[in-house]
């Protein structure tokens, strides 16, 4: 809050190193790469971080979750040796998936990568790349076979963000921040050694990347919503209004609070069950969609309720800590920001389709290939 972008980046990097040296930065990684905590230990860690409203690792998020999971699942030994230690040393990553006409329908992406000898030449545009203005590397999806069915002609690359032809432009958001960026790629050279997996097999690998938002990530978010989020909401309800009344003394407000507490308990249970089932290899095809949908819409309802009970005064609170989560007590900004979670990694509408089709076995929508 009230700090420069440079100060924010420096703080995030310092906080990451503090957690790293304590053994808490990447608890979900294998032991040989600096992690190794059991599922139970990770649960306790995230509960404690949430209970103390510790800063989130927003700058390192893509690196320690998306990049790491992709490299561990599909990267070469050389790629893992090059990047996993560098991530621990502070290497920042972004994700180059979405495009202006390829958001929820990601398979429609048009950024091209043409093979020329030992390199690929990439041209196109990417959108909604979180933190790209600070990133050193990018997880990039590009079309390598324009004639193949759209999910079968995509390849997965590791792109150096400092390579010639990479133009990053921050996007100013409704909150006043510029967390998202668009990227313009003009004849960017990517060595063939930075291809992840086989050529044209990028769609399957991308599912591994997107799957990194499951499990412990959702557990951490659920714990933060149940600790910091509910704490801020309770404070807003017990704080007297200008006429001296407390919102919580209204039975309707008290009922809503009780309802939110019940929903948070259910969310925590869903997240823990998701983590345990995945760890045991019993994860269902729609488990992650259930949790993501439930969390994102509960977050939105809680932040909207906080803005309602806080009255007009909340509309003047136009700053929030840059390292906070989606719940900070700056209700209007929190409510605007909460919409972010109902859109990326599959909109709520997409999640409902996945739950219906993959989880419940309902027929696919007409015309869907």
For 240, which DSSP code? P
Question: What is the spatial distance between Cα 267 and Cα 49, in angstroms, rounded to a whole number?
Answer: 18
Exposed e or buried b per residue across 200-210, where buried means at least 16 C-beta atoms within 10 angstroms of its C-beta = bbbbebbebbb
Exposed e or buried b per residue across 264-275, where buried means at least 16 C-beta atoms within 10 angstroms of its C-beta = beebbebbbebb
For residue 126, the tally of other CB atoms under 10 A from its CB is: 28
Give me the catalytic one of 6, 101, 182, 213: 213
Interaxial angle between packed helices 251-279 and 287-310, expressed in degrees from 0 to 180 and rounded to the nearest 10: 160
Interaxial angle between packed helices 287-310 and 331-338, expressed in degrees from 0 to 180 and rounded to the nearest 10: 150
Nearest to 80 by CA among 90, 65, 68, 64: 68
Per the annotation, the verdict on 213 as an active-site residue is yes
The answer to whether residues 139 and 96 touch, using CB atoms and an 8 Å cutoff, is yes
The answer to whether residues 212 and 65 touch, using CB atoms and an 8 Å cutoff, is yes
- Catalytic annotation, residues: 213
């Amino acid at each position: 809050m009230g700090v420069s972008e440079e100060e924010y980046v420096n703080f995030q990097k310092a906080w990451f190193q503090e957690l790293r040296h304590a053994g808490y930065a990447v608890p979900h990684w294998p032991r040989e790469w600096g992690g190794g905590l059991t599922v139970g230990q990770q649960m306790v860690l995230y509960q404690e971080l949430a209970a103390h409203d510790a800063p989130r690792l927003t700058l390192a998020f893509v690196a320690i979750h998306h990049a790491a999971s992709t490299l561990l699942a599909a990267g070469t030994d050389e790629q893992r040796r090059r990047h996993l230690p560098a991530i621990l040393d502070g290497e920042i990553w972004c994700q180059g998936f979405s495009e202006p006409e390829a958001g929820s329908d990601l398979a429609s992406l048009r950024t091209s990568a043409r093979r020329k000898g030992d390199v690929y030449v990439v041209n196109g545009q990417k959108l909604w790349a979180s933190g790209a203005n600070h990133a050193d590397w990018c997880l990039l999806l590009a079309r390598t076979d324009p004639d193949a069915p759209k999910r079968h002609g995509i390849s997965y690359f590791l792109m150096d963000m400092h390579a010639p032809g990479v133009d990053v432009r921050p996007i100013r958001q409704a909150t006043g921040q510029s967390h998202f960026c668009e990227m313009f790629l003009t004849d960017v050279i990517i060595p063939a050694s930075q291809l992840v997996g086989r050529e044209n097999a990028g769609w399957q690998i991308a599912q591994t990347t997107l799957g990194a938002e499951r499990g412990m990530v959702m557990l951490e978010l659920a714990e933060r919503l149940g600790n910091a989020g509910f704490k801020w909401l309770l404070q807003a309800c017990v704080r007297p209004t200008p006429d001296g009344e407390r919102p919580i003394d209204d039975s309707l407000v008290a009922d809503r609070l009780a309802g939110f507490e019940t929903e948070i308990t259910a969310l925590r249970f869903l997240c823990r069950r998701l983590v345990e089932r995945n760890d045991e290899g019993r994860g269902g095809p729609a488990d992650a969609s259930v949790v993501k949908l439930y969390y994102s819409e509960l977050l939105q309802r809680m932040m909207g309720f906080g803005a309602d009970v806080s009255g007009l005064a909340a509309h003047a609170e136009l700053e929030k800590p840059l390292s906070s989560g989606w719940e900070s007590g700056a209700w209007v900004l929190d409510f605007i920001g909460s919409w972010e979670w109902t859109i990326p990694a599959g909109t709520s509408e997409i999640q409902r389709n996945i739950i219906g089709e993959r989880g419940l076995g309902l027929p696919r929508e007409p015309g869907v290939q």
